[in-house]
Structure 1
C-alpha cells in the first residue's frame, strides 16, 4: 500500500518525489524522497500530515449557532455555560454518538486526522452512572471508529463547582466523577486501545478537581498516558484561584504536581511571564483553541512569548464553532497581529514561513498531547495524511514554500481533497466515505433535541 507525492511535507521540511508506504495496521513503513514513481501507484502533487485536534467536547457540536443571542447584561463564558448545561441535561448516549460521528466526519474533511476528546458527560440524565460506567465514552469511541478518525479518550475528573470543594450544582450532576470513577472508566476502556485509540485522563480544572484527587488518579494511571486540564481560561478563574490559594492557576498546579511532557494545559489564556517560563521548561503543551476562545470572549494567549521560550503548542476546536484547522491556525496568528499591530508573528529565525511554522509546530504539539503516533510523515508514525487540491486556483502555480501560506491565509474554500487516516482513505474528492449516512443520523438527532 503506497502513495507517491511530487511534494511532501516531512519533519525536515518540504521534499520532492516522496514514496510513502504503510502496513496493514496503518503505520508508515517507508518515507523515501528523491524516489522514482513506481508503476501503478497513485500520484499526488501536495501531501501533508493530517492535523491533530487536541481539545474536543464532541456533544457541543450540536449547540453551534444557538448561543448567539445577547442577554440582558454582558454575556461571557459563564452565561454561555448555563445554556450548555441545559443542553447537556437532555442528551442520550445514542445522540452523543450521532453528534460525535457528524463532528468527526467534518473534522476529517477539513484536515484533522486525530482528536483528543475531553469527555465529561459520564452519567445519565438522573445523575447516575450507567450500568457500564464507560457507556458514553464508548459511544464517542464508536463514533470515531465509524468516521475513521484517530482518538485519544480523556475521561474527566469533575467533583466540585469551584475552589474550596464547592458542591456541584444540580445541572452539573451528569458530569460528576471522583478519582475512583475515572479509574474505573479508564480500566473499562483498556480493551479499546489500539493504533487508532488511546486512553488518558483529564482533571477538568483546578476549580473542579482537587490536588489530592489529581494525585490519586495520576498514581494509578500508566505513566505514559496523556493528561489534559483546563487552566486559566477566564480572568474570573484566575481571581478565584488567587483568592483560594494565593497563587495563579499555573503556579498553583506546578507548585503541587510534577507537570511534564504528557500534560496538555488547555487554553492557559491568562498567564504571566513566569508561568510561560514554567510551561516551556516542563515540556508541557499549551492547548490553544482560538475560535472557541474568541466565541466565548476569553482573551488571547501570549504566543510569541511561548515561542521565544521554546515552548510547545497545538490547536483544538473545543466547542466546535469551527471544524477547520485552517481557521484555528489563521486566527491564532491573526489574533496576535491585531493585538500587537504587526504581521507574521508566528515565526522564528530558523523558519520565517508563518504557514510552515504554524503547521509543523501544531503537528508536533498535537501529537505529543495525543499520546499516539500521528503528526508526521515518518516511518513508525500513523499513516495520517492530507492530499491538497492542486487544481484549485489558490494552489495554481504556487511555489512549494508558499503552499502552506496559501492553505492558511488565502480564501475560505477547503483545499483538502483526500484524507487518509490509519492507512485508510476516509475522504475522497472532499466527501467523507460515509457522509450521507452520518449526516442523516445527525439530522434526526437534532430534530429530536430541538423538539424538547
Structure 2
C-alpha cells in the first residue's frame, strides 16, 4: 500500500487540491481531496495515464528509414515496401527488444497503456512457430518488463487487396485463413491467462485484407472484447472500395458488420458527412494517429464534424516514428488549425483546448482497449502521470491551464513520474529500466540493419 499526495490532481469530477491517493493491489483504493501530505510521497500535479490505442511496436525500429525519396512519387504505398523489408528481417528476440524500447518511451511520455495491433505472427519463411503466439509472447514479455498495460490485438490478414484471393509474398509473416487465425487467437488467450495486465481483442486488418464475411467471423471470435480495424486511411483505398463495391469504405463496413461500442475504427480519415454521423451513432471509437498520419501523408480527419455528431475518439502512436502523448494531441489540434485556418478548433467557446483533447483521448482510449473506465477514482487501475511543476512550460499553471501548457508547450520533457498499474516505472523523467532496455535495443537494431 502506497499513499501519494498531489498539490493538484485531475479527478473525474474536475481539478482538486491537496489530493491523497492510496494505491493497493495495482488499483486506486482511496482518493481524498483536501488532505494533509503527512506520511505521503509528495508530488505537484497528477493526471490519469493515457492509452496509445494503436501501435505496431516493431515499426519503432524503422523510424527514419523511409525518409529518403526514391525516383517518382512517394506515398504510403512506397513507405509500405520499406516496412515489409524491415518486417521480414526481424527475429523474435529483436521484436521483444524493440517493443521494450517503445514501451519505455511510451511510459516516459505519459502513455500508461498500449493497444498492440499485432500482425507480425510467423517466421521469416511464413511458417508457424512451434507456438503460434511466439511473437505475441515477445510483445507481452516486453510489456511485463517495462510495466505498460497491454491490449493485444492479433491481426487477421488474408488478402492483398479488395477481391484478391490471397496475399502477396511480402505479406507472408502475417497471412492466414480463419482456421489459422483461430489457432493463433487461442494461443494468445492462453498466454494472457497467465499474464497480469494483459487484455486480448481481435483485429481484422482492413477491408483490403479481409472480406466483410471474414470481418464478421473475426469479430465473432472476439467474444465480446475489443475489435479494431483499419479503414479509409488513404484516398486510394476509397477509390478501390468504390470500384469494388460501389460504396465508400466506412459505409461498406457499417453495412456489412454489426459495428458497436466494442469497435475502434483506425484512421477513418476519409469519410463523408453521412459516414461521420453513422460512426458516431454506432458508438465506435475512432482511433486517430496524428503523428503517423502526418508522416505518411494520409490526410486530415475532420474532428469538429465527429465531435458535433457526438462521436468518440482516442489517439495512438501507430508507426511509432516519434513518441509522445502530448505530442499526439498537439498534432491533432494543429492539423485542424491548418485545414480550417482557425485556432482552438477542438473545444467550445470559453473552453480549454487541452482539456477537451485530453478528456476525449482518455475516455476513447479506455473504451477502445476494453480495460474499464480510466481516471483517478476508487477502483480504477492505478495509472498516474505526475508532471513537473518546475518545468518552464508549467510554472504557475493551475487547473486546465496545466493541460493547455503541457500539450502545447511542455510535452514529454514535463513528465516527471509515472505509475503504471500501481508500480512506479518513471522517476525524474526516466524509466527505471531504461539503460538495460536501451542497451538491448541498440544491439538488436544493429543486427537487423545489418541484414537489410
TM-score (norm: length of structure 1) = 0.97
Find out whether 1:49 has 2:48 as its counterpart: yes
Matched residue SS, 2:117:
strand
Aligned to 1:108: 107
Q: Deviations over 1:9-67 (max 9, x none)?
A: 1122211121211222x111212222333x32111111001110000000000111111
Aligned to 2:241: 241
Equivalent pair of 1:52/1:375 in contact (CA under 8 Å): no
Aligned to 2:432: 433
Matched residue SS, 1:367:
helix
In structure 2, how many angstroms separate the alpha carbons of the residues matched to 1:252 and 1:12? Answer: 39
Find out whether 1:408 has 2:407 as its counterpart: yes
Q: Deviations over 1:168-200 (max 9, x none)?
A: 111111110222222222222224246511000
Bigger mean CA deviation after superposition, 166-175 or 68-77: 166-175
Residue pairs, 1:32-431, within 5 angstroms: 32-37=32-37, 39-191=38-190, 192-193=192-193, 196-223=197-224, 225-348=225-348, 352-373=351-372, 375-411=374-410, 414-431=413-430
Q: Deviations over 1:394-438 (max 9, x none)?
A: 111123331110001115661000000000000011111111110
Equivalent pair of 1:52/1:374 in contact (CA under 8 Å): no
In structure 2, how many angstroms separate the alpha carbons of the residues matched to 1:412 and 1:54? Answer: 19
Equivalent pair of 1:108/1:419 in contact (CA under 8 Å): yes
Q: Deviations over 1:360-404 (max 9, x none)?
A: 110000000110136311122110011101121211112333111
Aligned to 1:444: 443
In structure 2, how many angstroms separate the alpha carbons of the residues matched to 1:354 and 1:278? Answer: 25
Equivalent pair of 2:229/2:265 in contact (CA under 8 Å): yes
In structure 2, how many angstroms separate the alpha carbons of the residues matched to 1:413 and 1:92? Answer: 31
Structure 1: any 5+ residue segments left out of the alignment? none
In structure 2, how many angstroms separate the alpha carbons of the residues matched to 1:127 and 1:399? Answer: 54
In structure 1, how many angstroms separate the alpha carbons of the residues matched to 2:344 and 2:448? Answer: 43
Shift of 1:221: 2.6
In structure 2, how many angstroms separate the alpha carbons of the residues matched to 1:380 and 1:211? Answer: 38
Q: Deviations over 1:221-270 (max 9, x none)?
A: 321x1000000000000110111111111101110111000100000000
Structure 2: any 5+ residue segments left out of the alignment? none
Equivalent pair of 2:354/2:400 in contact (CA under 8 Å): no
TM-score (norm: length of structure 2) = 0.97
Bigger mean CA deviation after superposition, 278-287 or 213-222: 213-222
In structure 1, how many angstroms separate the alpha carbons of the residues matched to 2:218 and 2:178? Answer: 6
Bigger mean CA deviation after superposition, 288-297 or 406-415: 406-415
Bigger mean CA deviation after superposition, 409-418 or 305-314: 409-418
Aligned to 2:14: 13
Q: Deviations over 1:132-183 (max 9, x none)?
A: 0011011101001111100000000000000003431111111102222222
Equivalent pair of 1:5/1:44 in contact (CA under 8 Å): yes
Task: Spell out structure 1 runs of 4+ moving beyond 6 A.
Answer: none
Equivalent pair of 1:373/1:380 in contact (CA under 8 Å): no
In structure 1, how many angstroms separate the alpha carbons of the residues matched to 2:188 and 2:423? Answer: 24
Equivalent pair of 2:18/2:35 in contact (CA under 8 Å): yes
In structure 2, how many angstroms separate the alpha carbons of the residues matched to 1:374 and 1:5? Answer: 21
Equivalent pair of 2:354/2:403 in contact (CA under 8 Å): yes
